[in-house]
Amino acid sequence: MKANQNNNNLETATFGAGCFWCIEACFKDLKGVVSVVPGYAGGHKADPTYKEVCGGQTGHAEVAQVVFDPTQITYEALLEAFWFVHDPTQLNRQGNDIGTQYRSVIFYHSEEQKRLAQAYLKRLSDEKVWDAPIVTEIVAINNYYEAEDYHHNYFENNPGNPYCQSVVRPKVEKFRKVFAKSLN
């Protein structure tokens, strides 16, 4: 946990936007974000493994669970980052990562998060930000299972990995340029 954070004020957000390595690497340095933990959510199998989720039989999405201090970063700011880090018009995929585990999904933790996510989605749709329709799901969080330890800080711990070099690094570099004023 980062210094100077009061545990009583913290909130949780859960996002699926393709590979959880990308989401974690982008969100972890946002001011007000206390932690970003990769995991699995939205499926029907208890305590799934990475191999099971990648097999597409558990119904889970790869997600990042973001704990944040709402006095330092708003849920709306997290939504802005979420929409930026992936293509929400791709159904059950992000680039070459294909399967329901890579779906675009916001798992809300409160009625207020649901309202804000739906309003943001409507605004983006009305403004026709993307040429294709947005396919992002907005659903109540029904479960969350933390990913295996080796997935934590994956990009930071595996910078030479070919996937990290070709997919994660360019996304993180672009994110850091656009959100430079919002980073620690």
CA–CA separation, 146 vs 65, rounded Å?
A: 9
Cβ–Cβ < 8 Å for 20, 65: no
- Apex CA 134: angle with CA 121 and CA 177, to 5°? 75
Q: How far apart are CA 167 and CA 29, in angstroms?
A: 18
- For 111, the 3-state DSSP assignment is helix
Q: Pick the catalytic residue from 19, 22, 26, 164.
A: 19
Catalytic residue status for 22 = no
In three-state secondary structure terms, 161 is coil
Q: Mind telling me the catalytic residues?
A: 19
